[in-house]
Amino acid sequence: MSARRIGVVGCGTMGAGITAECLRAGLDVQVLATGRASADRARTRVLGLLDRAHAKGRIDAGQRAEAERRVAFGTDPDALADRHAVVEAVPEDRETKLRLFTILAKTVEDPAAVLASTTSSLSIADLAEATDRPGAVIGLHFFNPVPTMPLVEVIRSPHTTDTTAERAEALVTESLGKQIVRAEDRCGFVVNALLIPYLMAAVRMCEAGIATAEDIDRGMTLGCGHPMGPLAVLDLIGLDVIADVARSMTDGTGDTRHAVPPLLDRLITEGRLGRKTGHGFHRYETRRAAS
């Protein structure tokens, strides 16, 4: 059975993007937020993404209106009881995710439901073992911004059943129209294991005064054929988001290539988080997103 009723836990940038993509695909979505104010901000984010999809011609006016009718925002985990799949998109904190998966396993009634994590660095097996249904747990690592990024990493733990993997991949590929790569359950999986050391090296180069942010990015776009330079990628994803992933990977691997440079911490402290604040390594003419 295909997953038609989806739960999304957490509705920051990633959760909002996943919610909007599920709605665009015709799915019913229940979003779980931490409080009423957070739920209201989540609604604003998601409806804004639907408006953007309409403006870009990805959905028509009727689909936009119908999508809004298929989403609900709340704070009670029991609202997830009837879901066929639940995707958590809470901050990259191990203890927070462990507590959440314990709750999800007790709340979601369908024994075949997929319990998925968007973690970019934590162990899927670790999350699964916090539940009494470890076979239902899988990693679905979406990339930001979700509406435009075509890739999802699918990560099975040794516990994940074939049925869970099949249902999860069908949701991603058939319903959402994304492409997948299958990754082993190791810190950073495929993409971040390559990406994070590269991004941190670019920050250190800028920090040391070897080259400006503009020249670093120009060098990688014009010299290596990358569509975006590393510091522009940091700005796009969010400096705070990448720093959290890098810290998690440093803790998980002990590899100093993942360590967050002081310059990155300083920019975050100053509120220069990238495109969402209008200023990161580069400046952008955009309004600061609601937080």
Q: Is there a catalytic annotation at residue 120?
A: yes
In one letter, which amino acid is 282? Answer: H
| Residue 272 counted as domain residue | yes
- Residue keyed to tokens 């129209």: 177
| Domain boundary residue, one of 149, 183, 217 | 183
Number of domains in the chain: 2
Residues 158 and 265 in one domain: no
| Residue 285 counted as domain residue | no
Residues 21 and 119 in one domain: yes
Q: pTM of this prediction? A: 0.88
**Catalytic hit among 153, 175, 258, 279:** 153
Residue 280: the pLDDT is 97
Residues 127 and 146 in one domain: yes
Alpha-carbon gap, residue 29 to 72, rounded angstroms? 7
Give long-range contacts, CB 8 A cutoff, 24+ apart: 273-280.
Answer: 273/238, 273/239, 273/240, 274/234, 274/235, 274/236, 274/237, 274/238, 274/239, 275/235, 275/236, 275/238, 276/13, 276/238, 280/231, 280/234, 280/235, 280/239
Residues 29 and 59 in one domain: yes
| Domain boundary residue, one of 152, 183, 214 | 183
**Catalytic hit among 117, 121, 144, 192:** 192
Residues 148 and 44 in one domain: yes
Residue 1: the pLDDT is 61
| CATH assignment of the domain containing 163 | 3.40.50.720
Residue 289 DSSP one-character state: P
Residues 176 and 197 in one domain: no
**Catalytic hit among 117, 121, 123, 141:** 141
Q: Is there a catalytic annotation at residue 192?
A: yes
| Residue 23 counted as domain residue | yes
Q: Is there a catalytic annotation at residue 153?
A: yes
Residues 110 and 252 in one domain: no
Residues 152 and 113 in one domain: yes
Using alpha carbons, select from 278, 281, 268, 89 the residue that is nearest to residue 289.
278
Q: Across the strands, what pairs with 155?
A: 139, 183
| Domain boundary residue, one of 162, 183, 204 | 183
Residues 58 and 98 in one domain: yes
**Catalytic hit among 120, 123, 157, 248:** 120
Residues 30 and 151 in one domain: yes
What parts of the chain have a pLDDT lower than 70? 1, 286-291
| Residue 65 counted as domain residue | yes
Residues 51 and 144 in one domain: yes
| Integer-rounded Cα radius of gyration of the chain | 19
Residues 95 and 122 in one domain: yes
Residue 286: the pLDDT is 60
| CATH assignment of the domain containing 247 | 1.10.1040.10
Alpha-carbon gap, residue 260 to 196, rounded angstroms? 10
Q: Is there a catalytic annotation at residue 144?
A: no
Domain that holds residue 10: 5-183
